[in-house]
Structure 1
Amino acid sequence: MDEDKYFTESAFSNTDAVARYTEGPPRFVPGFSDMQRMVCWLLAERVPENGRILVVGAGGGLELKVFAEAQPSWSFDGVDPSAEMLTLAEQTMGPIASRVQLHHGFIDVTPDGPFDAATCILTMHFVEREERRRMASEIRRRLKPGAPLVVAHLSVPQGDGERAVWLSRYAAFAVSSGVESENANKARDAIDSQLSILTPEEDEAILKEAGFSNVSLFYVGFAFRGWVAYA
């Protein structure tokens, strides 16, 4: 499987790509493991001991495994539109899968909650702007008052030439992580043409329009950014 498919939607229905998905994020996302740990800490600031967490874009199970191992009394509902990725999530989680309810589909198929927190990691850049607004609102509707939402995805400035510069940095990081230069450049071109990458200001505005407050940037890794906000 070519690494250039890791951050395109076609990867999530490709059996070979899905089988190797867990290798991808650490090679393409600067500080991926530390970012996941930071998300855990941000959630733990407000989630009670027996908290229930909604994980949007749960396919692959990477963050579910990290969260569940860090907090053995939390339970989770994860949703993803790819059945293949949900199967991978079950394999990734192993015995902790008993604390997770997986849902096949989009945000609408998840329970109404209310949840103590939600996450949406490396997912929103697959969603067009208007649908992203709706998704953020539906997540907000499922959260308890004051509950945190943590998101992280591709988000870059898009002034004169800025988008190209940031996506080139994305490719350069991948090469430094061992990805072949040709594949890294293919990945850059694919995400540039296929994904819905907004500016950081637009991303923050969507969260605020959905009813979230205290929107704060907590993570920047070249072309990736992450925010915490509160219902």
Structure 2
Amino acid sequence: MQKEELKAIFDKQAPGYDRQWARMAPIRDGLHFLLESVFADFPKDARILCVGVGTGAEMAYLANKFPHWRFTAVDPSGAMLDVCRQRAEAEGYLSRCDFHEGYLESLSTEDPHDGATCFLVSQFIVAQEARSEFFRAIASRLKPGGILASSDLASDIESDGYEALLRVWLNTMTPGIQPEALERTRTAYATDVAVLPPTIVASIIESAGFEPPVQFFQTGLIHAWFSRRI
């Protein structure tokens, strides 16, 4: 899927995005709970880069847990950033946030960050070299030793268990999903979304200038890793 197509989709979804995915909140909350421990050794005044921040769920969680941290929120969807900004204002951490509408290539590499989040973003980059370059752009905006926490849909779609896991996953998102919708999603996961085996995703991250990633979370098709910039 092309960048402009994705931007248009997320611009349209932004006003109701959090309601649309409210059912998945237990998974999101579990990931954020562990993320707090992944970043626990950061300094009191840490700076965090949130890539593809969307409506800002992980940023809100961290901002409320760490009241002196500052955040750079990056997203190509202006509508998503508007929701993110409104949330920051409502919850009282707006003054600690910088908002960048666009992609990483237009974000300065000055003042590198202590850590970065990138949740369910890189899966939309189908070409593996482009996906590696995306993670390389994150690495260049981190301090040496800075930590990236990332998550993506991942699975071996050729494995015997994939079909059964896919059905469970789709029923988790949409209980009672119809056969036609199941088939549409299966096709999308094979063409528009780069659902790769977890070991391949980890190797792509590592190739971008990170230490071997450590998987710290997995629920359904979502896998999450953390890794230090070399």
Counterpart for residue 51 of structure 2: 56
**Cα distance per residue 1:97-120 (max 9 Å; x no partner):** 221101011111222131111110
Q: Distance in 2 between matches of 1:186 and 1:132?
A: 26
| Aligned 8 A contact 1:59 1:86 in 2 | yes
Aligned runs of 1:78-97 on 2, under 5 Å? 78-94=73-89, 95-97=92-94
What stretches of structure 1 of length at least 5 have no aligned partner? 1-7
Tell me the TM-score normalized by structure 1.
0.85
| Aligned 8 A contact 1:80 1:103 in 2 | yes
Counterpart for residue 39 of structure 1: 35
**Cα distance per residue 1:201-221 (max 9 Å; x no partner):** 111101111111141000001
2:144 aligns to what SS in structure 1?
A: coil
Counterpart for residue 198 of structure 2: 200
- Quote how far apart the aligned CAs of 1:25 are: 3.9
Aligned runs of 1:113-124 on 2, under 5 Å? 113-124=111-122
| Aligned 8 A contact 2:120 2:152 in 1 | yes
Matched, 1:148 2:147: yes
| Aligned 8 A contact 2:55 2:83 in 1 | yes
| Aligned 8 A contact 1:121 1:152 in 2 | yes
How many residues align structurally?
218
190 and 23 in structure 1: CA distance in 2 versus 1, 3 angstrom threshold: farther
What stretches of structure 2 of length at least 5 have no aligned partner? none
Answer 1 or 2: higher relative contact order, Cα 8 Å, separation at least 6. Answer: 1
**Cα distance per residue 1:61-99 (max 9 Å; x no partner):** 111111111111000111111111111111222231221
| Aligned 8 A contact 2:157 2:195 in 1 | no
Q: Which amino acid aligns with 2:47?
A: R
160 and 121 in structure 1: CA distance in 2 versus 1, 3 angstrom threshold: closer
The one of 86, 96, 103 aligned to 1:106: 103
Tell me the TM-score normalized by structure 2.
0.86
